[in-house]
Every structure is written in structure tokens, then in C-alpha cells.
Amino acid sequence: SVGPTGGIIALAGVDGIETDVRIDGEGRLVIKHDPIADDSPNLLLEEFLEWAPSSILLNLEIKDPRAVTPLVDMVNKHNDKQYLISSFHHRAAWKFNKKMPDIECGVIISCFPLFFTLLEQMIPATFSHIIWEYEMYDSHLASKLHKYEHFLYNVPHNDIRHNVDGIISDHV
């Protein structure tokens, strides 16, 4: 359990928290991985940001492209935090980055690219991170994209055999 409604989380040894951001039926930013059901309780992103320590990286994954503008407002309001904004919706992360160029942004890669040049072209030059799905990570491609920090997600039982800059895991 995390944050203000879920009690205390042990943060020893944790460098950051990754969470998903959506918009609920009332237009509020909420933390939610799955699509929002009308009757499901949701943790407001603002409550989470008020709780989150400023000493750790907050990787906010945009799940709903409509969240970009309100997320810009929220990050401006809570500007004492360390952020990484990422998304499978690369255009949503790019739009955020255009509005807040000083905040680190990254793309999430969940398929193996057929051509290196296409992969390289789809990542905006202003982005700082590539977040790879564990099974799609290619150390050869990553070495060619050395200007970015490389994170892995869906890592089975913290398999850290790859030389990457970060691991996003449910297994702390």
C-alpha cells in the first residue's frame, strides 16, 4: 500500500516510485493502472504528491493523453519534486515536454524495433530516458542510444544482469 490512504511504505533503498496517471470521470488526475470504473476508489495524484518525499524520483506514466495539460499544472504546483514523465503514448510525453522542457521525459518501448534508425527518429531529442519492456531490451541498441538513460520494467524478480541505469519493479 502506498501513500496517504494506504499507510506507510518502506522507502529504504528505493530511488523512486513509478505510478500511472489517468483522468477520472470528474476530470481529476488519479493514480490508476487500469481503466477507471465508475465505482472504484481512486487515489488523487495531488494527495500522492503531497505525501511523496522530494528526495526520490517520481516516474509519472501518462496512461491517458487527456492528462497532459492538468499534469503540467500539477507538476508546476508541486515543483519541489524530482520527476520523470513517461508514456506508451509518445506524443503525450512529447506534448508534456514541450510545455515543461526542464522536466525529464522518456518513451516506453514495448516492442522490438525493426530498424534502429526508426527507433532513433521516434525519440524526441529533448528526452532523457528510454524505458524498455524487459523482454524487448537490446543492449546493442541501447549502446547506440548512449545519450539516454535506460530503465527496464517488468523485470522478473529483479533480474539485474543487464547494464542499465534503473529498474522499475514490483519486487522491492
Give pLDDT tens digits for 30-44. 998 777 766 677 899
Query: What is the pLDDT, as a whole number, of residue 47?
Result: 95
Query: What is the pLDDT, as a whole number, of residue 41?
Result: 79
Query: What is the pLDDT, as a whole number, of residue 116?
Result: 84
Give pLDDT tens digits for 97-139. 999 999 999 999 988 877 888 888 889 989 999 999 888 888 8
Question: 138: burial class by Cβ within 10 Å (0-12, 13-18, 19+)?
Answer: middle
Task: Tell me the percentage of the chain whose pLDDT exceeds 90.
Answer: 49
| Those residues with Cβ within 8 angstroms of residue 140's Cβ, 6 or more apart along the chain or in another chain | none
Query: What is the pLDDT, as a whole number, of residue 161?
Result: 64
**Strands of the chain, DSSP E:** 16-23, 29-31, 43-44, 57-62, 82-87, 104-109, 129-133, 149-153, 166-168
Query: What is the pLDDT, as a whole number, of residue 4?
Result: 44
Q: Return the CA Rg of the chain.
A: 16
The yes-or-no verdict on residue 167 having pLDDT over 70 is: yes
Query: What is the pLDDT, as a whole number, of residue 159?
Result: 66
The Cα angle at residue 152 between residues 146 and 155, in degrees rounded to 5: 150
Give pLDDT tens digits for 50-87. 999 999 999 999 999 999 999 999 999 999 999 999 99
118 grid coordinates? 526508426
Dist CA 81 CA 139 (whole Å): 31
